[in-house]
Chains A and B, each alone.
Chain A
Amino acid sequence: MSSFSRSAQQWATFGRSWFLIDARMQPPGKIATMCAIRLQGKHKPIYHALSDCGDHIVVMNTKQIAFSGNKWEQKVYSSHSGYPGGFKQLTAAQLHHKDPKAIVKLAVYGMLPKNLHRRTMMQRLHIFPDDELPEDIRANLTEELPQPREVPRTLSEYTQEEIDAFPRLWTPPENYKMK
């Protein structure tokens, strides 16, 4: 804004901010797109690929990530160590059990541009499986980003009034006994 002093304006435009994302019940792909955009700096109007304008992102609760469909069983993460017989294929469920951070990390890694900046951008991504964050990272956080997916309510979260307000769609026949 034009009312700020020059130094304040400079800090606001070029300062590297720290974002927080809660990945509970969220699809890892959508989390990864949000991370990739902000790690490159593409959310800023002053973006340029060479100007190193990416921000830090902290992703928490990656242990409680939610895949749509049957991807936990169907999606396969493959890797080869380079040695003969070193081809490993793990389903998303197995990989998540082994390392709860890996799925989000691989997703973001694949969405960043495939150049030498990628490794520095990945260093600015901080992933935590639980919601326990170290003190120094918590001190740096500036903004929490909204969750991409709307988490639906379970039946136990509805109040009795809401359940009663919903009309009964059908009446059972006279002789029917619910088991």
Chain B
Amino acid sequence: MAARSMLRSVWTSFAGLKLGATGSNVIFQQRTNVPQLSTLTIQSRGIRQVVEQQEGKTTTIEGQILNIPATPEPPNPAAKCPIYRWNLQHKYNYTDVLLLSQFIRPDGGLLPRRVTGLCLEEHRKIAICVQMAHRAGLLPDHKPKPPENRNPTKPRQQLNRYLTPWSIDTVKPIYKVGLKWSKRRMAVGSPLLKNNVRYGVKHMNTKH
């Protein structure tokens, strides 16, 4: 009776698990409850472990969180968005892969905003930076699995590129450029990042 109530109090924190009408002398196997990890993006919540101890007639089943790495205190803990908390606004670019890789899935997609906690503008900036990083080839291990290759005979031309704001298949060639005073310019980088800190005198040119 006491064991069952103790069991119930321990298990209420685990929402997904169902506990049937089990007796007190049930032996649970040690289980590690690990969130899905990829080789590169490591969540620092800690690995939860279910530990079972038997003391005579009472069985104690505990869920312990092991290995909590100490995340350093952010410089601005009062802010809502993680980038504002670490004072990284206006300071990152498509090359800062260590930062961008924290917000992507293993197959390269972005995590939803309600999960990461980013504010809308920073989420959009991170999105465009991640797209540019993918197109520049800076995230080689985060490619999605291709469906059964339909045309292996015509391989895509491997061209090096960087600061590509638009998707490769959707962009059309500029056949009529126009005169010098009214040229159709080609976009380089994104206007969302125009407020980034520049340590030189020159301004960022998004229209080439």
Contact = CB atoms under 8 A, between A and B. Distances in A.
Contact of B101 (A72, A155, A179): A155
B interface SS class? loop
B136 A152 contact: yes
A176 interface: yes
Interface in A60-105: 64-76, 89, 91, 93, 96-97
Interface string B147-183: 0000000000101111111101001111101000000
B171 A74 contact: yes
Interface stretch (A6-14, A33-41, A166-174): A166-174
Nearest to B109: A179
A115 interface: no
A68 B188 contact: yes
Interface string B109-152: 00000011110000000000000000011111110000000000
Contacts of B189: 68-69
A167 B87 CA distance: 13
A25 interface: yes
A162 B163 contact: no
Contact of B82 (A76, A153, A162, A169): A169
Nearest to B207: A69
A154 B174 contact: no
Interface in B1-54: 15, 35-38, 40-41, 43-45
Interface in A99-127: none
Contacts of B102: 168-170
Given A75-B173, A166-B99, A170-B116, 20 more contacts: A68-B208, A69-B186, A70-B166, A70-B168, A74-B186, A75-B174, A76-B174, A97-B157, A153-B95, A154-B97, A154-B140, A155-B138, A155-B141, A158-B97, A166-B98, A168-B71, A170-B118, A171-B45, A172-B43, A172-B115
